[in-house]
Chain A
Amino acid sequence: DIVMTQSPDSLAVSLGERATISCKSSQSVFLRSNNKNYLAWYQQKPGQPPKLLISWASTRESGVPDRFSGSGSGTDFTLTISSLQAEDVAVYYCHQYYTLFTFGPGTKVDIK
């Protein structure tokens, strides 16, 4: 199994400030044949299903604000919210779909 870890477990950021979440996989999720990282980021608000924000490590889904960005390759990835808004309060999960499917433990983002 590929194990996903995230840090921090939670963070509080002032409105308009940057929030950065780290995700690490126990083995590489990069496929050389197509030059893609099989890594996605989800946002989940209370009482709602997860919402796909970013796929292929850095491709923002349609309709996702451009303050959300993903980066990284291989085993180390980052989700950045460049200017935190009140509606961004949520739990964020990374997810690998390279070998079967696993999710990270989640990072809770709050307003400071």
Chain B
Amino acid sequence: QITLKESGPTLVQPTQTLTLTCTISGFSLSAGGVAVGWIRQPPGKALEWLALIYWDDDDRYSPSLKSRLTITKDTSKNQVVLTVTNMDPVDTATYYCAHRLHPGPFMYWGQGALVTVSS
């Protein structure tokens, strides 16, 4: 059974760096074709893809946010980490991590982590 769970701070101050961790089970981050992505959703708004990391450590970023994002993985810990620098109140959102088997869509999703940016 594939599961993903997001963890991290619920409140971040403006200009701070957000670090979110996705802990996975039921699959290996090094298995061929596997990728884990991060997608966010501001309250009441649509989904926005942020970043993706592949089994071979190749990565992709949203062009509009690329300069602020870093995605990494630790296969031994079964974790994928997303960092977002220079947080702003507009970054307030539920952040999801999701499993993808290349070249398909995101199939399995975590429950999401709500992050509020406020002083």
Contact = CB atoms under 8 A, between A and B. Distances in A.
Interface residues of A, number: 22
Contacts, number: 56
B76 to A, nearest CB: 26
A101 B65 CA distance: 13
B87 to A, nearest CB: 22
Contact of A95 (B60, B105, B110): B105
B103 A105 contact: no
B34 to A, nearest CB: 15
B10 interface: no
Given A49-B112, A50-B109, A105-B46, A1 B63 contact: yes
17 contacts: A38-B103, A48-B111, A49-B109, A50-B96, A50-B106, A52-B106, A52-B107, A55-B107, A95-B106, A97-B105, A97-B106, A100-B49, A100-B62, A101-B37, A101-B49, A101-B52, A104-B46
Interface of B: 37, 39, 46-49, 52, 60, 62-64, 96, 98, 100, 103-107, 109-112
Interface of A: 1, 38, 40, 42, 48-52, 55-56, 61, 93, 95, 97, 100-106
